Amino acid sequence: MSSNFPPATSSRNLEQLKTLLNQEGFRLTRQRQKILEIFRSLPEGDHLGAEEIYQTLTNAGETIGISTIYRALHLMVNMGLLRELDLAEGRKLYELATPSVHEHHHLVCVQCGAVQEFEETSMATVGVQEAERHGFALLNCQFTVYAVCPTCQGQLRSP
Ligand SMILES: [Zn+2]
Ligand SMILES: [Zn+2]
């Protein structure tokens, strides 16, 4: 048995990405790899926007343009490696696309943009039912709840 067996699914994701990128004629550039690494090191339940990735990479001494980051994110979404979330108006957030067992939904504060994840299987049940009823093949079922978080509610109430 090999002693340097890949420790986690993340290694498999990276191999998967390399294969996909090669198939599509894209190279897994060092910078794209860095972007993927940022997502893999994120605490669960965190989401990032292009600006935050730009900040993180710039702080780490990388010379990268924001448009390169947008292109890389777009590419990885198309590859099925990242999921694009249209949670806040005019601001797209990204997270690693996890297997369907980890599918979750989002509660979003419309004031400050805070995002809380939650799991609720009944949404997927409704999604499957509706898709089947109309003869659609279900790919993904995302539910987004727009609300005002406790902190922002406090600010609204204060004089
Ligand atoms: Zn999420
Ligand atoms: Zn808020």
76 Cβ contact partners less than 8 Å away, ≥ 6 residues apart: 17, 32, 35, 36, 82
pLDDT digits (tens, 9 = 90+) for 47-87: 999 999 999 999 999 898 999 999 999 988 887 788 888 77
Q: Are residues 19 and 72 in the same domain?
A: yes
Look up the domain containing 157 and give its range: 100-159
* CA atoms within 13 A of residue 114's CA, in its CB half-sphere: 11
Q: Which ligand is nearest to the CA of 97?
A: 1
CATH number at residue 83: 1.10.10.10
Q: Are residues 37 and 78 in the same domain?
A: yes
Domain final residue, candidates 98, 130, 146: 98
Please tell me the distance between residue 108's alpha carbon and the centre of ligand 2 in angstroms.
8
pLDDT digits (tens, 9 = 90+) for 81-111: 888 887 767 778 999 886 654 678 899 998 8
Please tell me the distance between residue 125's alpha carbon and the centre of ligand 2 in angstroms.
29
Please tell me the distance between residue 40's alpha carbon and the centre of ligand 2 in angstroms.
26
**CA-based max dimension of the chain:** 67
Q: Are residues 37 and 58 in the same domain?
A: yes
